[in-house]
Amino acid sequence: MGEKLLYDDDEYKKEESRISRVTVRTSTGPQTDRTSGSLDHCKRVDMRSLPYFCRGQVVRGFGRGSKDLGIPTANFPESVVDNLPADISTGIYYGWARVDNGDIHKMVMSIGWNPYYKNTKKSMETHVIHKFKEDFYGKILSVAMVGYIRPERGFKSLDELIAAIHSDIEEAKTKLDLPEHLKLKEHHFFKTSTANQILNGHRL
């Protein structure tokens, strides 16, 4: 566990100098357009580790995704969560996901403690935007986190939380159709075998 994913491709080496800058709202401040660049009641997050690639075995989580929300999620083990870079802040991300050696699908991921449920353990919960015939506990989940949607925040009701998640999913679908994100669907990472090793990745 914890091995670095290294590639020799010159195109992706150039990505090492790229910094994804995202302006996000603080939980107590007013809403601000993420693209406006306004720093009023906002903090600027430098996502130096995006895109971020990681892989791990799906473990049982809190059991709330399908039961409470109707939005199934897959949980990574603590070993993957604990290896996140320091600049990967809590919040909602979007990217690409693959179960074992199957097809690559769009995904959204929540990283953090889920304020609505007041979790005491940090988690990485991935919703793969695809209908699977059965659950995939014990399977190997490979993900590429390519962008940030919003910080995690508390909600007054379950319905409000569900509405926010559906909004996140729609935003992820749209953003992942951008050429700079579509190319990562074809990344070397997804062409490597999942059979022999479980890896934690890093930005390229």
Cα separation, 59 vs 86, whole angstroms: 23
Token pair listed for 27 = 């939980």
What is the spatial distance between Cα 85 and Cα 70, in angstroms, rounded to a whole number? Answer: 30
- Cβ-proximal residues to 172 (8 Å cutoff; 6+ apart), any chain: 94, 95, 106, 107, 108, 129, 149
170 flagged as catalytic: no
List 3, 15, 16, 125, catalytic entry: 125
List the one residue out of 146, 139, 141, 145 whose CA is nearest residue 55: 141
Catalytic residues: 125
